[in-house]
Structure 1
Amino acid sequence: MHKRLSLLIALSLAAPAALAANGDWTGWYAGVHAGQGDSDAEADTTLGGAWSSESQALRDEVAAGLSPGLDASGSVYGVQFGYNHQFSSGFVLGAELDWSKLGIDESRSTGLTPTTTFPSLSYDYGNAIELDDKLALKGRIGWASGSHLFSLSVGWVQVDAQAFAGIVSNGNYLKAGSRSETLEGTEIGVAYEYDFGNQWSLRGEWLMADVDPLRFDTGYLPGSSFTSPAYSESVRQEADFETLRLALNYRF
């Protein structure tokens, strides 16, 4: 994340020094964007119920197996619409509404793996996450110098998210759970935009979204040899994500 932010700042500083004569950023604009999205998607699993009768070492191993950090990534594209007002000092205030289609996803399955505590007991852990439609409304503050605009943004964001977790043992312990939800949170960003002088501009932007986690419990699957006493697994799946994108805007 920090490497990408540093790259964007470096690109901003390396922008052409020449300033366009018509560098007034006041007005409405609309455009499209595309880029790359990433999420660490860390999970945290709490064991309950009959797990209390098992050894602490086994509980720790199972909880860790169901709590991976999924390195989710994928393409991002969408549209934006906004308004900027530039003051005589070069100070710029604005607001922007954008919609993005996210292809950020990842899944994994460990395959049956012997436990350290009881080598004769093996578990297969499975996890998945998918981030889809995103909607954001942000305020923007910046400084303009002719054709160059440097800005920071912060505001509200929501994203459609899905998560899955499952555990299978060689003793026919079969459980899985999932959750689909629209999550809300805060998005911050930093951007550099260049005005071509013909109502078109190009923006490079880094964004970080901090959203609520997904929470769900696993349930016994048909055919499981274990149903009673009840073992329980409660999953807390993080869904924070970042994007690095280019946006092409037309001012009117």
Structure 2
Amino acid sequence: MNRSLLLGAAALLATGTASFAADLPYPVKAEPVQVFVPAFSWTGFYLGGNAGYGWGDSKATDVLFFDSLGGVYTPGGLYAGNDVKFGNMDGWVAGGQIGYNYQFTNNVVVGIEADFQWTGAEDSRSFYATVDGPYYQTSAELEWFGTVRARLGYAFDRLLVYGTGGFAYGKVSGSTTVMGLNGAGAPDFTTAASGSYDKVNTGWTLGAGLEYALTDNWILRGEYLYVDLGDTNVTTYLAGAPGSYVSAKADLTSNIVRAAISYKF
């Protein structure tokens, strides 16, 4: 009888265990956790530096020499000079920029930027006003320039394509030496009188560029700018010849290609 009870108990236990196991849920593989990475935004302030190369032209037109002295020239005489063009106003540029961008939900980006550049653009020329003189030695230099520009672009995530334009200003300096001719028709350096000038010109600029966000903060740029500093009347008083001076109308344009890196806050 004991053996029958034991067998019955074992059978009941086995049946209950199997039934309990059948009721347990099967393990289900957990869904992978999705990490949300926000899209890059160009909105924010930025500050950086840049360097590149510039090439351009400067022209002096209506060059006139007014002489109040006797000797080499007739007192009070008026001598016209040939128009002179400085065609190799080339050199390096380097400086910094600061600005702000705002990106709309449709990926259009608007902004404003100011920059300041030092340059090494300069050139010199020599010429005769007439076969009888006077003889001119002239130079021109763009020492520095700056711009304040609006920017409009479209963002392809971390790539920004934009156009830009606005106000430009820059310091143009130069020098002029005037001398008569000797009996052989060559410049007579004993009659030389020289002067220099500095002018801050204003004008406009247009350009375009590409920017790429290397990280959420560091942005690399390539940019082209056309800068027109307009024309201005320049008067150069000649040291050593009191009352004598050279007048001209001068203008300057420049093409700038530069690379920049900025830190976005």
TM-score by length of 2: 0.70
* CA pair 21-102 structure 1, distance change in 2 beyond 3 A: farther
Aligned residue for 1:24?
Answer: 41
- Residue in structure 1 matching 2:148, options 124, 130, 137: 137
- Deviation for aligned residue 1:245: 0.3
Alignment deviations for residues 18-68 of structure 1 (CA, whole Å, 9 cap, x no partner):
xx9743211111111000112211111244768xxx9xxxx7xx622x523
Report 1 or 2 for greater relative contact order, CA contacts < 8 Å, sequence distance ≥ 6.
Answer: 1
Q: Quote the Cα distance in structure 2 between the aligned partners of 1:231 and 1:182.
A: 23
> Would you say 1:215 and 2:233 are equivalent positions?
yes
Percent same amino acid at aligned positions? 26
* CA pair 236-142 structure 1, distance change in 2 beyond 3 A: same
What are the residue-to-residue correspondences of 1:89-128 with 2, within 5 Å? 89-109=106-126, 118=131, 121=132, 123-128=134-139
> Would you say 1:149 and 2:167 are equivalent positions?
no
Q: What is the Cα-based RMSD across aligned positions, in Å?
A: 3.2
Aligned residue for 2:86?
Answer: 69
- Deviation for aligned residue 1:190: 0.7
TM-score by length of 1: 0.73
* CA pair 210-27 structure 1, distance change in 2 beyond 3 A: same
Q: Quote the Cα distance in structure 2 between the aligned partners of 1:168 and 1:107.
A: 16
Q: Please say which of residues 142-151 and 98-107 is displaced more in the overlay.
A: 98-107
Alignment deviations for residues 122-156 of structure 1 (CA, whole Å, 9 cap, x no partner):
65321111112322211111111112111111112
Structure 1, gaps ≥5 residues long: 1-19
Alignment deviations for residues 69-113 of structure 1 (CA, whole Å, 9 cap, x no partner):
341111111111111111111111001111111221122345xx7
Q: Which runs of 4+ in 1 moved over 6 A?
A: none
> Would you say 1:36 and 2:53 are equivalent positions?
yes
Structure 2, gaps ≥5 residues long: 1-36, 68-73, 183-187
* CA pair 221-80 structure 1, distance change in 2 beyond 3 A: closer
| Paired amino acid for 2:58 | A
Q: Quote the Cα distance in structure 2 between the aligned partners of 1:189 and 1:114.
A: 38
Which structure: larger Rg?
2
